[in-house]
Amino acid sequence: SKAKGGRMPDVWVAGMHPSLLERVAKRGYGLMLTPAWKPIESIAPARETLDELCATHGRDPATMPLGLMRFIM
């Protein structure tokens, strides 16, 4: 069903697997990077891969929604 106003809600997916990054770049989904307990630097390779895949699919990576999930204790 459509959201109020007749527009479909944005689709966000979470993860960092290469096949997920491919799907995000191809479909234009929002991405929630999920490095869990890994150092924050672990997201750099995923971001670089996403940028390359966006270019392959004709998308500007600067316009792609991007989030980061972190665990805080």
Q: What is the pLDDT of residues 4-28, one digit of tens each?
A: 677 778 899 999 999 999 999 999 9
Percent of the chain with pLDDT over 70: 95
List strands edge to edge, sheet with 30-33: 12-14, 30-33, 66-68
Alpha helices in the chain (DSSP H): 18-27, 43-56
pTM above 0.75, yes or no: yes
Looking at residue 52, its amino acid is E
The CA distance from 71 to 12, in Å, is 19
**pLDDT at residue 58 above 90?**
yes
The CA distance from 61 to 58, in Å, is 9
Whether the Cβ atoms of residue 33 and residue 16 lie closer than 8 Å to each other: yes
